[in-house]
Amino acid sequence: MPADDRKLIAGFLTGEPGAVAQMERWVAAAAKPYRARLGGEWEDLRQDVMLELTRLFSEGRFRGESAVVSYVWRVANNACLKRIRSLSRWAPDVTELLQRTKDGRRTADERLVEESRMESIRRLVERMPAECIALWRRILAGQSYPSMAAELSIAEGTLRVRVLRCRQKAMEMREQEEGNKGNK
Q: Which domains does the chain have, with CATH numbers?
A: 3-87 (1.10.1740), 94-183 (1.10.10)
Least confident of 80-84, 114-118, 149-153: 114-118
Task: Give the separation between CA 6 and CA 68, rounded to whole angstroms.
Answer: 9
b/e 78-98 (16+ beta carbons within 10 angstroms → b): ebbeebeeeeeeeebebeebe
The tens digit of pLDDT for each residue in 6-46 reads 888 888 888 899 989 999 999 889 888 887 777 777 888 88
pLDDT at residue 153 in the model: 92
More confident: 148 or 41 = 148
Task: Give the separation between CA 103 and CA 107, rounded to whole angstroms.
Answer: 10
Count of CB atoms situated within 10 Å of the CB of 169:
15
Above 80 in pLDDT, residue 82? yes
pLDDT at residue 97 in the model: 53
Q: Tell me the C-alpha to C-alpha distance, in Å, between residue 122 and each of 40, 126, 151.
A: 24, 6, 27
Percentage of the chain exceeding pLDDT 90: 7
Closest alpha carbon to 174 in 83, 69, 86, 73 = 86
Q: What's the whole-number mean pLDDT along residues 55-72?
A: 87
Q: What's the whole-number mean pLDDT along residues 70-76?
A: 90
Averaged confidence pLDDT in the chain: 81
Count of CB atoms situated within 10 Å of the CB of 143:
13
The tens digit of pLDDT for each residue in 84-94 reads 777 666 555 55
